[in-house]
């Protein structure tokens, strides 16, 4: 028994996720309805205890003592022959009073103080928090025992003790919400418009404290019920002959060997009530988005066992292809929804030593494509069609163990945020040498030496020393160099780089791009470079595939794409780039916004935003070389690709 | 690491001071006059005065506190008002039973909680996950003393596999100790197992969605290795914090479960002290319990520093 | 020229510097001796990388962080003297739009509440008037009135940023601080927001302080540009001059680091650039010129002496010893960022060895 607290992960959830319309799904209702019924029954028993009880709960009848359940006494009798059912019903009143008193007091004491010290800070905060820490470091029951020693025993005094004890939980919750929320940008905005501290606290922050507060109330109610029972059980809570579930268990314990059944009704009543309260709390916590977010369910396997081929005709094979992707389709299940496609009819080639840029805005499916090639879409996503051929092997046909073997050695990946893609718990060197030991079977010693070499190769000064650093001790640029060293440690044939410079400053970005180039010249791997930035793609890529709404809309060698874009979306993106645009505002725009997966038009997906849309655009469009050219390097998904004159970047 | 321990030890000094002030001033609030409790109503006024003088009750509050603190630092927490037993002796005599019970249940909770939590996290939404989550939810709703009663009635009274009551010191008879501690430790460990399982599951589910897990898998490391080497260590970081807190909870819970199994631990001592308003005894119990809790916190801080490089002082 | 709306002189912002127990610790200077001027109707672009102090200037100007020293003359009052927050008369004249549209709107307030909150604080209006004004504000940012009762989480990033702009416009301020207003948005939405901002500026004659990391973007829409490096404003001047003829080596490094949209020219430029290996030297030099550790053109003098702001031909100033008439050749040269002007066809420049 001690003050329950929201776990650290839940208490600091950002406010941005708090307001969400709760969606009542069947599984939720299956929890909510029984729980609510239990609590309703409890409340009715508490309110109408006299009317509902068959006997007076205090009426003794020593002749009938310690009987089992019978028609006369449904739940039997206790040591003094009192009717257990009647005592149970009256006990529920005690439970309700106890929960209401202690929780109410805890909220009334804890929340205002927590809000105050959280906002005020300074000495007030320091002293209060030290006192709270002191109280929390005494086992809760001892705190209650000391307070009861001062006040004396009895229901209300015991609940006063519990109220003080649990107020520390509310105090800490309110304080932590204030501390988190006051750093939020919307509070900054409120200060800028001139809202007073009081107004900010009451009108802006307090609204966001309500959801975690409600969850904390349910936790506390459950804890109070258990604590009341415990205190009454050891005889310092509710005093006999008054009927509470805890005192009934006290009696039951004394007569365990004569009538074990006595312990069952009050115990079950406590369990069921606390369970109902806790389950409701869980549902509330999930519905306000502060629980653990589970990965979405994986969409069902496609009906045919073999992964189907569909869409655009296969691209002609080239001699030096390292990677061929044909007709790739990926479906993802959004939370609680049906699977929707996020990548469709995806086909491209990358030659050895070549870099293909996969360029698109958020939601275009470019990152999912990269992960799909690795077999790392994760729960919630599934490849439903297509072939991914790396050096002659179809990766999608490999068993999981085969794919696992290929990862790291044949195909490797560098991620966007270097500070989160390295494990914070291990030194950077150990994370590289681990790969070398497992994938290449090097000895510990040899792996470490090679690690230091690799770290040196990616341009980090003092490599032997830096190998022993933890990720958080490195700057973003240095961490990304480490991630690159690890990805290339086993000399993969294909390197997938997912926005590897987006999180970095522009001068660091330039250094990392140079590093990619140098390493590719040296090692000759094929590279798939995923980015939203056309300028970065222009710098690093040989060819570019532009993605929009899950499909490639145009693919071309980099010079041709920039000089002569064929797809209106490509042209639009180019002219919207800051250095592409000319002159002063108004700057060129693509009207509207990118539709989210599941809301794509059925025909050409860009048509609703396209200035050149024609009636024929209402039908799905294939990626084709167009009529005038047979150049397989140059494909466009637009029925007007050949008759439009689009502005080039320059 | 030594620096970390040093910092922690230093931070405990003000905390201990605050606890001692709180305890001392709270017990000073006790409504009854200790002198009445000791000599009853019969004594003459003179006797009363003598006792007051002997107990130092005529001194100002601050003097009494400093006096008490000074002796407490030397390990002297005074003597019981009732049986002239030294508080330190009484508490230390009872402590092994309570600590045995607490740490046995910590062990059970860690094993059960980690196992169930990891198993559930590996396959979210599977039947294992549902079973573990449901079990944990129920486990947290069951009062430990009631579970103790049920266990005793089934395994001790009916099946007679374990003794129903009493505590056998470890030094006296290790097997007897184990048998005497098993049921109470199970009863006590249930809700903490449940709490840990939930915490482990949520931490693991969270960690498994992190970039570095995806990156480790992108390097072709096996799922086993990713889970047990890369994920678990990070998932344990919040779990250690919760465990530290839960050990305090267990220590408190032990005081009640002791009553079920008639174990002569701190619990009965404390309850008796409260009933008799035995001030020095209550103060002593609180202080010594806090010392135990701080020891636990120091240990968890060290473990925390070991698994979380960011927590180490630069 | 008109009188400046805002004149920042020798502004220093220091973080930390006091521990909890009141003991003095050494603070970190986020901004050191900055000078900036914004005239009515003008946009000043403030450019720098992360940690350059550009957001600290914004926060100080908005009264969120106290100035350690210096002056911030705004419309006749020195904001740096107002340690206890701005009076309402000042408050309503300076508004802000922040970077992340997902966290800058209170998730538990409706669009109407968000947009009318400034009116409730600063204006005495009836409920009906406020509602009418809210509808008008939404129309200004091209959002339908029907969005008023909805919550922020129902909107896309671009729409949220429009809502934030509507709230900033509510009090008809004289200056809006735009802190990376489009960097969280998709490329195809960015220009929509920028165009909206400029349409509003031209309609009202207010000024902008535009904070961004992208020089190319800032160049298009600013009248003047200031470049920050680790707390120092290293260069300031008319937008075209700074962009096409950067005087400070750091400004040039920033420009060169942004890849050109033309692959052939970008490749040529890269071939010409010898990527300096990363060094262990700190990003900031404690003595002398703060940029000297990274500067390819550093001379002996840079080590010993902090450079003063010197006038640059074409307008503005830069803090670089190389600009001294007696120094070596001024570094101002034609460069070829972007697609502008006849200069764009000149061959890539060679760095002197």
* For range B36-45, the mean pLDDT: 68
C326: closest CA of chain A, how far (Å): 30
Name the pairing type of β-strands A355-359 and A543-548: parallel
What is the DSSP track for A471-537? GGGS-HHHHHHHHHHHHTTT--SEEEEESTTTTS-HHHHHHHHHHHHHHHHHH--EEEEEES-HHHH
C327 to C232, C234, C236: CA distances (angstroms): 22, 18, 20
The more confident residue out of C169 and A305 is C169
pLDDT for the residue numbered C345: 35
Q: For the beta carbon of residue C101, count every other beta carbon within 10 angstroms.
A: 26
Q: CB contact, 8 Å: B27 with chain A?
A: yes
* Res A295: pLDDT: 61
Which of A12-26, A404-418, A573-587 is least confident?
A12-26
pLDDT single digits (tens) C83-117: 778 888 888 899 999 988 888 898 888 999 999 99
Per the rule left: phi > 0, alpha: psi between -120 and 50, beta: everything else, C22 is left
Residue A557 main-chain phi, psi, to 5 deg: -60, 150
Q: Is B46 exposed, middle or buried (0-12, 13-18, 19+ CB in 10 A)?
A: exposed
Confidence category of residue A224, pLDDT binned at 50, 70, 90: very high
> Measured between CB atoms, which of C199, C259, C338 is closest to A538?
C259
Mean pLDDT of A84-102: 92
Of A146, A295, A408, the CB nearest to B26: A146
The residue among A434, A390, A66, A112 whose CA lies nearest residue A252 is A66
| Longest CA pairwise span in chain B (Å) | 87
Contact C263 A562 (CB under 8 A): yes
Q: Is the pLDDT of residue A616 over 80?
A: yes
Fold of domain A1-19+294-410+493-650:
Rossmann fold (3.40.50)
pLDDT band at A479 (very low <50, low <70, confident <90, very high): very high
State whether C195 and A589 contact (CB < 8 Å): yes
Q: Which tokens sit at A485?
A: 């060293």
Whether A258 and chain B come into contact, CB under 8 Å, resolves to: no
What does the pLDDT average to over C182-196? 88
CB A385 within 8 A of CB A329: yes
Tokens standing for B195? 């709490």
Q: With contacts defined as CB-CB under 8 Å, which chain C residues touch A199?
A: 121
Does the pLDDT at position A18 exceed 50?
A: no
- CB–CB contact C257 A534 (8 Å): no
The domains found in chain C, sorted by start residue, are 1-40+57-87+231-353 (3.40.50.300)
With a cut of 70, say whether residue C60 has pLDDT above it: yes
Q: Which residue has the tokens 């705004």?
A: C74
Out of C98, C108, C253, whose CB is closest to A189? C98
Locate CATH 3.40.50.300 in chain A: 1-19+294-410+493-650
Residue A12: band (very low, low, confident or very high) from pLDDT cuts 50, 70, 90? very low
pLDDT given for residue C26 in this prediction: 60
- Whole-number Å distance between alpha carbons of A558 and C264: 9
> How many CB atoms lie under 10 A from the CB of residue B62?
8
Does residue B264 register a pLDDT over 80? yes
DSSP letter (8 states) at residue A641: T
Determine what percent of chain C is predicted with pLDDT higher than 90: 44
Q: Which of A8, A131, A282 sits opposite B18 (nearest CB)?
A: A131
Two tokens at C142? 């091209």
Indicate the pLDDT class of residue A288, thresholds 50, 70 and 90.
low
Comparison of pLDDT for C216 and A463, the residue scoring more: A463
- Contacts of the segment A31-37: beta carbons below 8 A, 24+ positions apart: A31/A279, A31/A280, A31/A282, A31/A283, A32/A279, A32/A280, A32/A283, A34/A276, A35/A275, A35/A276, A35/A277, A35/A279, A35/A280, A35/A283, A36/A276, A36/A280
| Residue range C293-299: mean pLDDT, rounded | 84
Task: Tell me if A407 and B218 make a contact (CB, 8 A cut-off).
Answer: yes
Q: Please state whether beta strands A635-636 and C94-97 pair in parallel, antiparallel, or not at all (unpaired).
A: unpaired
Q: Does C223 touch chain A (CB under 8 A)?
A: no
- Which of the four pLDDT bands, split at 50, 70 and 90, describes residue A273? very high
Q: Of the ranges B52-61, B157-166, C28-37, which is most confident? A: C28-37
Question: CB of A404 within 8 Å of any CB in chain B?
Answer: yes
Q: CB-based burial of residue B156 (10 Å sphere; 0-12 exposed, 13-18 middle, 19+ buried)? A: buried
From the candidates A35, A123, A142, which should be mutated to test the interface with B, based on the most B CB atoms within 10 A?
A142
DSSP C41-66: T-EEEEE--TTSSHHHHHHHHTTSS-
From the CB of residue C37, how many other CB atoms can be counted at a distance below 10 Å?
A: 16
Q: Check residue A644 and give its pLDDT.
A: 76
Q: Is the pLDDT of residue A15 over 50?
A: no
Task: Please state the pTM of the whole predicted model.
Answer: 0.84
**What is the pLDDT at residue A275?**
94
Lowest mean pLDDT among A126-130, A624-628, B70-74, C45-49: A624-628
Q: Name the average pLDDT for chain B.
A: 86
d(CA C14, CA A529): 41
The pLDDT, as a whole number, for residue B27 is: 67
pLDDT-derived band at C349, boundaries 50, 70, 90: very low
Question: Taking a C-beta distance cutoff of 8 angstroms, is the pair A58, A64 a contact?
Answer: no
Q: Give the pLDDT band (50/70/90) at residue A369.
A: very high
- For A544-609, the DSSP string reads EEEEETTEEEEEEEHHHHHHS--SHHHHHHHHHSTTTS-SSSSPP---S-PPPTT---SS-TTGGG
SS3 call for C12: strand
Start-end ranges of CATH 1.10.3720.10 in chain A?
26-55+81-287
The per-residue pLDDT for C278 is 59
Give the least confident one: A115-129, B182-196, C52-66, C327-341: C327-341
pLDDT of residue C1: 57
pLDDT at A522: 93
* Res C82: pLDDT: 85
Cα A412 from Cα A404, distance rounded (Å): 11
**Cβ–Cβ gap B215/A421 under 8 Å:** yes
* Cα-Cα-Cα-Cα dihedral sign, residues C132, C137, C142, C144: negative
A625-647 mean pLDDT: 74
Report the alpha-carbon distance of residue C139 to residue C127 in Å, rounded: 19
pLDDT at position A14 over 80:
no
A557 has which bridge partners? A543
Kindly determine whether residue A270 and residue B14, on different chains, have CB atoms separated by under 8 Å: no
Average pLDDT of chain C to the nearest whole number: 84
**Least confident span in A160-164, B276-280, C219-223:** B276-280
Model pLDDT for residues A305-317, shown as the tens digit of each residue:
444 445 556 666 6
Which of A161, A264, A169, A274 is CA-nearest to residue A216?
A169
- A357 forms bridges with which residues in the sheet? A529, A544
The pLDDT confidence band at residue C242, using thresholds 50, 70 and 90, is very high
Q: Are strands A321-332 and A381-390 parallel, antiparallel or unpaired?
A: antiparallel
- Domains, chain B, ordered by start: 2-87 (no CATH), 88-311 (1.10.3720.10)
State the pLDDT at residue A17: 37
Rounded distance between C-alpha atoms, residue C114 and residue C167, angstroms: 7
SS3 (DSSP) at A613: coil
Structure tokens at A403: 């794919």
Query: How far is C-alpha B58 from the geometric centre of its chain's CA atoms?
Result: 36
Q: State the Cα–Cα distance between residues A447 and A439, nearest whole angstrom.
A: 11
Omega of the bond leading into A129 within 30 degrees of 0 (cis): no
Q: Does residue A15 contact residue C106 with C-beta atoms inside 8 Å?
A: yes
Least confident of A70-74, A398-402, B204-208, B232-236: A70-74
State the Cα–Cα distance between residues C25 and A560, nearest whole angstrom. 58
- Do B143 and A229 lie within an 8 Å CB cutoff? yes
Contact A539 C259 (CB under 8 A): yes
Q: C116 or C348: which carries more pLDDT confidence?
A: C116
pLDDT band at C266 (very low <50, low <70, confident <90, very high): confident
Residue A355 per-residue DSSP state: E
What residues contact residue C84 under an 8 Å CB cut-off, 6+ apart?
none
CA distance readout (Å), A626 to A564, A573, A638, B44? 14, 21, 9, 116
Q: Distance (Å, rounded) from C-alpha A353 to C-alpha A347?
A: 19
pLDDT score at A304: 43
- pLDDT at position A312 is 56
pLDDT-based confidence at residue A110 (cuts at 50, 70, 90): very high
In this predicted model, what pLDDT tens digit does every residue of B170-213 receive, in sequence order? 888 889 888 889 999 999 999 999 999 999 999 998 898 889 99
The domain made up of A26-55+81-287 is a member of CATH 1.10.3720.10: yes
Supply φ then ψ for residue C67, to 5 degrees. -80, 140
Confidence band, pLDDT 50/70/90 cuts, at residue C317: very high
């Amino acid at each position: 028994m001690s003050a329950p607290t929201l776990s650290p992960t839940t208490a600091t959830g950002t406010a941005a996720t708090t307001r969400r319309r709760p969606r009542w799904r069947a599984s939720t209702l299956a929890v909510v309805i029984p729980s609510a019924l239990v609590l309703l029954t409890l409340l009715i028993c508490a309110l109408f205890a006299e009317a509902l009880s068959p006997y007076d709960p205090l009426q003794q009848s020593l002749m009938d003592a310690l009987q089992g359940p019978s028609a006369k006494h449904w739940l039997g009798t206790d040591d003094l022959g009192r009717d257990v059912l009647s005592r149970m019903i009256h006990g529920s009143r005690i439970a309700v009073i106890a929960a209401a008193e202690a929780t109410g007091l805890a909220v009334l004491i804890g929340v205002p103080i927590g809000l105050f010290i959280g906002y005020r800070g300074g000495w007030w905060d320091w002293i209060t928090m030290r006192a709270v820490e002191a109280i929390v470091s005494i086992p809760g029951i001892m705190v209650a025992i000391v307070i009861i020693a001062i006040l004396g025993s009895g229901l209300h005094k015991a609940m006063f003790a519990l109220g003080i004890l649990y107020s520390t939980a509310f105090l800490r919750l309110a304080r932590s919400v204030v501390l988190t929320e006051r750093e939020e940008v919307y509070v900054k905005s409120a200060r800028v418009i001139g809202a007073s501290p009081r107004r900010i606290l009451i009108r802006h922050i307090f609204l966001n404290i309500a959801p975690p507060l409600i969850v904390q109330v349910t936790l506390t109610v459950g804890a109070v019920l258990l604590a009341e029972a415990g205190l009454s059980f050891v005889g310092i809570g509710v005093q006999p002959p008054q009927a509470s579930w805890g005192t009934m268990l006290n009696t039951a314990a004394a007569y365990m060997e004569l009538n074990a059944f006595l312990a069952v009704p009050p115990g079950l009543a406590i369990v069921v009530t606390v369970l109902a309260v806790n389950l409701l709390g869980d549902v509330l916590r999930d519905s306000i988005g502060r629980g653990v977010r589970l990965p979405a369910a994986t969409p069902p396997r496609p009906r045919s066992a073999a992964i189907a081929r569909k869409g655009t005709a296969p691209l002609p094979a080239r001699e030096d292809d390292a990677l061929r992707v044909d007709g790739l389709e990926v479906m993802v299940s959004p939370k609680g929804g049906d699977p929707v496609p996020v990548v469709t009819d995806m086909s491209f080639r990358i030659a050895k030593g070549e870099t293909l840029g996969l360029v698109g805005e958020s939601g275009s499916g470019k990152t999912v494509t990269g992960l799909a090639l690795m077999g790392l879409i994760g729960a919630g996503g599934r490849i439903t069609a297509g072939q991914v051929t790396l050096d002659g092997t179809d990766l999608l046909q490999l068993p999981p163990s085969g794919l696992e073997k290929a990862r790291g050695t044949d195909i490797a990946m560098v991620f966007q945020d270097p500070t989160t893609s390295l494990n914070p718990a291990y030194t950077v060197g150990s994370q590289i040498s681990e790969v070398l030991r497992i994938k290449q079977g090097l000895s510990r010693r040899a792996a470490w030496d090679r690690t230091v070499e690799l770290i040196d190769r990616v341009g980090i000064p003092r490599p032997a020393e830096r190998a022993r650093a933890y990720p958080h001790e490195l700057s973003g640029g240095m961490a990304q160099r480490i991630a690159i060293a690890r990805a290339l440690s086993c000399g993969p044939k294909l390197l997938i780089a997912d926005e590897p410079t987006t999180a970095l400053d522009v001068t660091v970005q330039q250094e990392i791009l140079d590093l990619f180039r140098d390493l590719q010249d040296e090692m000759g791997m094929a590279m798939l470079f995923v980015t939203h930035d056309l300028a970065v793609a222009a710098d690093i890529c040989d060819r570019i595939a532009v993605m929009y709404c899950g499909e490639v809309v145009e693919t071309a060698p980099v010079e041709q794409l920039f000089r002569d874009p064929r797809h209106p979306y490509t042209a639009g993106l180019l002219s919207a780039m800051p250095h592409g645009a000319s002159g002063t505002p108004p700057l060129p725009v693509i009207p509207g916004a990118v539709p989210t997966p599941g809301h794509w038009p059925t025909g050409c997906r860009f048509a609703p935003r396209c200035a050149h849309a024609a009636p024929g655009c209402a039908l799905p469009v294939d990626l084709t070389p167009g009529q005038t050219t047979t150049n397989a390097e140059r494909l466009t998904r637009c029925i007007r690709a050949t008759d439009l004159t689009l502005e080039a970047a320059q | 690491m030594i620096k970390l321990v040093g910092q922690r030890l230093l931070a405990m000094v003000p905390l201990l001071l605050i606890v001692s002030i709180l305890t001392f001033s709270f017990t000073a609030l006790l409504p009854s006059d200790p002198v009445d409790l000791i000599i009853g109503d019969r004594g003459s006024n003179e006797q009363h005065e003598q006792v007051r003088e002997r107990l130092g009750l005529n001194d100002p509050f601050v003097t009494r506190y400093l006096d008490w603190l000074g002796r407490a630092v030397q390990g002297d927490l005074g003597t019981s008002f009732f049986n002239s037993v030294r508080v330190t002796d009484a508490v230390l005599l009872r402590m092994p039973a309570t600590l045995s019970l607490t740490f046995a249940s910590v062990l059970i909770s860690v094993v059960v909680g980690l196992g169930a939590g990891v198993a559930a996290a590996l396959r979210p939404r599977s039947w294992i996950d549902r079973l573990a989550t449901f079990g944990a939810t129920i486990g947290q709703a069951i009062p430990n003393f009631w579970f103790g009663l049920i266990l005793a009635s089934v395994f001790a009274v009916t099946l007679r596999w374990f003794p129903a009551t009493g505590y056998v010191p470890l030094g006296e008879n290790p097997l007897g100790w184990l048998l005497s501690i098993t049921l109470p430790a199970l009863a006590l460990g249930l809700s903490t197992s449940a709490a840990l399982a939930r915490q482990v599951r949520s931490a693991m589910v969270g960690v498994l969605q992190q970039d570095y897990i995806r990156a480790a898998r992108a390097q072709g490391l096996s799922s086993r290795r990713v889970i047990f080497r890369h994920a678990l260590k990070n998932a344990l970081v919040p779990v250690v914090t919760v465990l530290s807190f839960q050990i305090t909870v267990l220590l408190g819970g032990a005081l009640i479960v002791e009553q079920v199994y008639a174990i002569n631990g701190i619990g009965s001592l404390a309850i008796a002290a409260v009933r008799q308003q035995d001030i020095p005894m209550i103060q002593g119990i609180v202080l010594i319990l806090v010392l135990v809790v701080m020891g636990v916190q120091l240990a968890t801080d060290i473990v925390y520093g070991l698994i979380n490089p960011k927590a180490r002082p630069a | 020229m008109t009188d400046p709306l805002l004149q920042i002189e020798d502004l220093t912002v220091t973080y930390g510097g006091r521990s909890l127990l009141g003991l003095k610790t050494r603070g970190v200077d986020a901004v050191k001796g900055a000078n900036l001027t914004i005239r009515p109707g003008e946009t000043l672009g403030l450019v720098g990388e992360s940690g350059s102090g550009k957001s600290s200037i914004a926060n100080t100007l908005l009264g969120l962080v106290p100035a350690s020293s210096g002056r911030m003359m705004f419309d006749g009052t020195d904001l740096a003297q107002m340690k206890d927050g701005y009076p309402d008369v000042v408050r309503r004249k300076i508004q802000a739009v922040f970077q992340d549209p997902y966290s800058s709107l209170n998730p538990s307030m409706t669009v109407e509440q968000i947009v009318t909150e400034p009116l409730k604080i600063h204006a005495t209006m009836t409920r009906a008037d406020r509602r009418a004004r809210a509808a008008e504000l939404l129309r200004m940012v091209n959002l339908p009135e029907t969005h008023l009762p909805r919550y922020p989480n129902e909107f896309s990033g671009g729409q949220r940023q429009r809502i934030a702009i509507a709230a900033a416009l509510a009090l008809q301020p004289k200056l809006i601080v735009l802190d990376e207003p489009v960097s969280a948005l998709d490329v195809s939405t960015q220009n929509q927001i920028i165009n909206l901002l400029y349409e509003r500026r031209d309609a009202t004659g207010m000024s902008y302080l535009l904070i961004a990391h992208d020089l190319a973007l800032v160049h298009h829409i600013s009248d003047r540009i200031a470049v920050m490096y680790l707390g120092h404003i290293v260069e300031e001047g008319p937008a075209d001059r700074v962009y096409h003829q950067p005087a400070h080596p750091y400004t040039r490094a920033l420009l060169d680091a942004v890849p050109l949209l033309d692959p052939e020219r970008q490749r040529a430029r890269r071939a010409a650039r010898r990527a300096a290996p990363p060094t262990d030297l700190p990003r900031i030099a404690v003595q002398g010129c703060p940029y000297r550790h990274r500067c390819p053109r550093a001379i002996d003098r840079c080590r010993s002496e902090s450079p003063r702001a010197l006038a640059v031909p074409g307008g503005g100033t830069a803090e670089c010893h190389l600009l001294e008439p007696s120094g070596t050749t001024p570094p101002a040269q034609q460069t070829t960022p972007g697609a502008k002007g006849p200069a764009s066809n000149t061959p890539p420049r060679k760095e002197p060895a």
